[in-house]
C-alpha cells in the first residue's frame, strides 16, 4: 500500500485502489461501528433532496468508505426510473474524481485528451491526400474511401475486444499495448504497395486506435458520473477537438514537402511519443477489487445485460448516428470541396478546421447548458437543429444555390449542433453501467465508429457529390431524432430529474 495515497504507477493521482488494503492494521478499531452496505428502495420523487458532490440531487447518502466498508448501492445518475425501477441500469459508484484537486483534473484531461487525439489524427491527417493516394495506387474514389472505412471498422470492432479486456486487466495495460501497435501499423501504412495492403494496414491501425478511445471513456466513468461526466467529457473534447483542426492543416503541410507516405511516418512518430507520455502520466483508475473476472461466457453475459437496457441502447444509437453525420461530412468533404469546388489541399484544411472550431465551441458551451437543463434536453435541441440545418442544406445544394459559402455555413452550423450531442449521449449511457465501464464504452465506441464506417461508403455509393453527402447527413439526423424520441424518451428522463441542477465541482 502506498502511504501517500497515489497509484502504483507513481502518477500522483489519488485513486480508489491505493488505500484499500485488507491488512488487519488498516482496519478500524473494534469499538468503531461497522458501516453496512446500504440498499435503496424506490421512493416518490422529492424536489428537496440534498445535492451530492457532483451537484446532482441525491436520493440517499452513501455510507463512509473505509477499508472494510461496503460500497453503497445508490440510484443511477441523471437517467432515472421508468416508474419504480430503471430496468437495465446498475448502481452508481462513488465519484472518486470529486475529491481531486483542480490541478489533478486538468492533468488527467490533458493526458486523456492527447491520447484520444490519436484517433482523430489518424482519421483526419491523411484526408487531403485521399485523391493522391487513389492516383498513385491506381484506385477509384470508392476504393480510396475504403481506407477510411477500414480504419473506422477497426476502431469499432477493436473496442468490442479491448473494452472487456480493460475491465479485466486494467486500463493502463490495454492502452499502452494499443498505442505501441498503432506505431507499427503506421509504419506498415507508409510502406503500402497497393490499395488493398493500405486498407488492411488501416484496419490494424484502427484496432490499435480503439485502445485509446475505449480506455479514455472508461477512465472518465471510473472517476465521474452523470453531470460531472458530461462536464469532463466536454472539457476532454476541447483538448482532443484541436486534432480535427490541426490534422488536415498538418497533413496539407506535409504533402507540400513529402508524399502521403510521410503522413503515416509522422503518425508513427506521434504514437511513440504518446506511448512514453502514457507510461509516465496515466494512472490506473480500475483497482483490482473492481475488475471483472471470468472467460468469454462472462463477457457475453455482460454484453447481454447491456443490450437489455433499452435506454442505454437508445443513447448509444443516438451517439452513433450523431457520429455518422460527422463522418459523412468527413468522408465526402474531401472530394466535394477539392474536386467540385476547386479548393487546394491547404484551402480544404482551412475550411475543415473552421467547422471543427464550431464543434469545439459547442462542446464547451455544453457544461453551462447542462447546469440549467437536463443533458437529454440539450441533446434533443442539438439533434433537432442538425436535422433542420441539413434539410435546408439539401435544398440549397440540390438547387445549386449559395455557392461555396451556401454549402460551408450550414455544414459548420451542423457540426456545432452535433457538439451538443457528443458529450451528453456517452455520459448518460456510461452513467447507467459503472461496474462494466470498459465493456459499456466498447459498445458505445463500436456503435459510433461502426455507424460512421457505414456512412463513408454510402456517400461514395450515392455519387460522392454534395447532394449525396448531405442526403446521408439528413438521413442520419432523422434516424437520431426518431430513436431519441421513441426509445430514449426524453420526457421520462426529464420528469425524473430536475431541469436545473447545481454546478458540478470545478
pLDDT above 70: residue 96: no
Q: Quickly state the pLDDT bin for 432 (edges 50, 70, 90).
A: confident
What secondary structure letter does DSSP report for 434?
Answer: G
Percent of the chain whose predicted confidence (pLDDT) is above 70:
75
Report residue 1 as a C-alpha cell.
500500500
Q: How far is the first Cα of the chain from the last one, in angstroms, to the nearest whole number?
A: 29
Q: So what's the pLDDT on residue 495?
A: 45
Give the residue extent of every domain in the chain: 104-297+309-496
Q: Which pLDDT value is given to residue 82?
A: 34
Q: Domain 104-297+309-496, what fold?
A: Growth Hormone; Chain: A; (1.20.1250)
How far is CA 334 from its chain centroid?
Answer: 24
Whether the pLDDT of residue 377 is over 50: the answer is yes
Cα separation of 408 and 219, whole Å? 36
Mean pLDDT of 53-82: 35
Give residue 462's pLDDT band: very low, low, confident or very high (50, 70, 90). Answer: confident
CA angle, 425 then 44 then 47, to 5°: 70
Which of 29-43, 217-231, 476-490 has the weakest average pLDDT? 29-43
**pLDDT of the residue at 221:** 81
69: pLDDT strictly greater than 80 = no
Average of per-residue pLDDT across 301-312:
91
Distances (CA, A) of 240 to 159, 305, 352, 371, 444: 19, 31, 15, 23, 18
Residue 90 or 142, more confident: 142
Give yes or no for residue 404 having a pLDDT over 80: yes
Q: What is the pTM of this model?
A: 0.65
Share the mean pLDDT of the chain: 78
Collapse the DSSP code of 36 into the 3-class scheme (helix H, G, I; strand E, B; otherwise coil) and give the result. coil
Tell me, what's the pLDDT at 252?
A: 80
- Listed range (4-18, 66-80, 312-326) with the worst mean pLDDT: 66-80
**Could you tell me if 396 and 466 are in contact, meaning their C-beta atoms sit under 8 angstroms apart?**
no
How large is the average pLDDT for residues 362-385?
Answer: 89
How far apart are alpha carbons 456 and 329 in whole angstroms? 9
Higher-confidence position of 328 and 23: 328
Beta bridge partners of 14: 6
Q: How buried is 443 (Cβ within 10 angstroms: 0-12 exposed, 13-18 middle, 19+ buried)? A: buried
Give CA–CA dist 497/56, Å, rounded: 9
Residue 6: strand pairing partners? 14
Residue 43 has a pLDDT of 41
Q: How far apart are CA 82 and CA 332, in angstroms?
A: 41
pLDDT at site 493 = 56
Task: Please give the residue that has the higher pLDDT: either 62 or 467.
Answer: 467
User: With 80 as the cut, is the pLDDT of residue 55 above it?
Assistant: no
In this predicted structure, the answer to whether residue 70 has a pLDDT above a threshold of 80 is no
- Counting residues of the chain whose pLDDT is more than 90, the rounded percentage is 33
Query: Which has the higher per-residue pLDDT, 227 or 340?
Result: 340
- CA dist 158 and 326 (Å) reads 21
- Does the structure show a pLDDT above 80 at 112? yes
Of 359, 401, 375, the C-alpha closest to 80 is 375
Phi–psi pair at 308, nearest 5 degrees: -80, -15
What b-and-e string marks burial along 80-101, b requiring 16 or more CB atoms within 10 Å of the CB?
A: bbeeeebebbbbbbbbbbbebe
Tell me what the mean pLDDT of segment 75-104 comes to.
52
Amino acid at each position: 500500500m502506498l502511504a501517500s495515497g497515489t497509484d502504483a504507477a507513481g502518477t500522483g493521482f489519488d485513486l480508489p485502489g491505493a488505500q484499500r488494503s485488507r491488512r488487519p492494521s488498516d482496519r478500524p478499531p473494534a469499538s468503531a461501528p461497522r458501516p453496512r452496505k446500504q440498499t435503496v428502495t424506490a421512493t416518490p420523487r422529492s424536489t428537496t433532496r440534498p445535492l451530492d458532490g457532483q451537484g446532482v440531487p441525491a436520493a440517499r447518502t452513501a455510507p463512509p468508505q473505509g477499508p472494510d466498508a461496503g460500497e453503497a448501492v445508490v440510484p443511477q445518475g441523471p437517467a432515472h426510473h421508468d416508474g419504480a425501477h430503471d430496468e437495465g441500469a446498475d448502481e452508481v459508484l462513488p465519484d472518486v474524481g470529486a475529491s481531486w484537486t483542480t490541478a489533478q483534473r486538468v492533468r488527467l484531461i490533458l493526458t486523456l485528451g492527447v491520447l484520444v487525439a490519436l484517433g482523430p489524427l489518424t482519421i483526419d491527417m491523411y484526408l487531403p491526400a485521399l485523391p493522391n493516394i487513389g492516383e498513385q495506387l491506381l484506385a477509384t474514389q470508392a476504393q480510396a474511401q475504403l481506407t477510411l472505412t477500414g480504419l473506422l471498422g477497426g476502431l469499432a470492432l477493436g473496442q468490442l475486444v479491448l473494452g472487456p479486456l480493460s475491465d479485466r486487466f486494467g486500463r493502463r495495460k490495454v492502452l499502452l499495448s494499443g498505442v505501441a501497435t498503432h506505431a507499427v501499423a503506421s509504419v506498415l501504412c507508409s510502406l503500402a504497395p497497393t490499395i488493398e495492403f493500405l486498407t488492411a494496414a488501416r484496419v490494424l491501425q484502427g484496432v490499435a486506435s480503439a485502445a485509446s478511445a475505449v480506455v479514455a471513456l472508461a477512465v472518465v466513468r471510473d472517476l465521474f458520473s452523470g453531470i460531472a461526466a458530461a462536464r469532463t467529457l466536454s472539457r476532454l473534447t476541447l483538448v482532443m477537438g484541436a486534432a480535427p483542426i490541426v490534422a488536415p492543416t498538418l497533413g496539407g503541410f506535409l504533402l507540400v514537402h513529402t508524399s502521403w507516405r510521410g503522413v503515416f511516418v509522422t503518425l508513427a512518430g506521434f504514437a511513440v511519443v504518446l506511448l512514453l507520455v502514457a507510461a509516465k502520466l496515466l494512472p490506473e483508475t480500475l483497482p483490482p477489487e473492481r475488475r471483472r473476472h471470468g472467460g468469454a461466457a462472462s463477457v457475453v453475459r455482460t454484453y447481454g445485460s447491456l443490450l437489455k437496457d433499452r435506454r442505454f441502447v437508445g443513447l448509444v444509437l443516438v451517439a452513433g448516428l450523431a457520429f455518422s453525420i460527422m463522418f459523412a461530412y468527413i468522408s465526402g468533404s474531401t472530394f466535394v470541396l477539392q474536386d467540385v469546388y476547386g479548393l487546394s489541399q491547404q484551402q480544404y484544411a482551412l475550411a475543415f478546421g473552421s467547422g471543427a472550431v464550431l464543434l469545439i465551441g459547442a462542446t464547451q458551451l455544453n457544461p453551462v447548458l447542462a447546469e440549467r437543463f437536463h443533458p437529454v434536453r440539450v441533446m434533443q435541441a442539438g439533434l433537432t437543429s442538425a436535422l433542420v440545418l441539413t434539410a435546408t442544406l439539401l435544398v440549397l445544394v440540390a438547387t445549386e444555390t449559395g455557392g461555396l459559402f451556401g454549402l460551408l455555413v450550414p455544414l459548420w452550423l451542423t457540426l456545432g449542433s452535433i457538439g451538443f450531442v457528443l458529450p451528453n449521449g456517452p455520459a448518460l449511457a456510461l452513467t447507467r453501467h459503472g461496474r462494466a465501464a470498459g465493456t459499456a464504452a466498447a459498445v458505445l465506441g463500436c456503435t459510433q465508429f461502426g455507424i460512421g464506417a457505414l456512412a463513408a461508403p454510402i456517400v461514395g455509393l450515392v455519387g460522392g457529390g454534395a447532394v449525396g453527402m448531405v442526403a446521408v447527413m439528413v438521413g442520419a439526423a432523422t434516424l437520431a431524432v426518431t430513436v431519441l424520441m421513441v426509445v430514449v424518451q426524453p420526457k421520462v428522463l426529464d420528469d425524473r430529474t430536475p431541469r436545473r441542477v447545481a454546478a458540478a465541482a470545478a
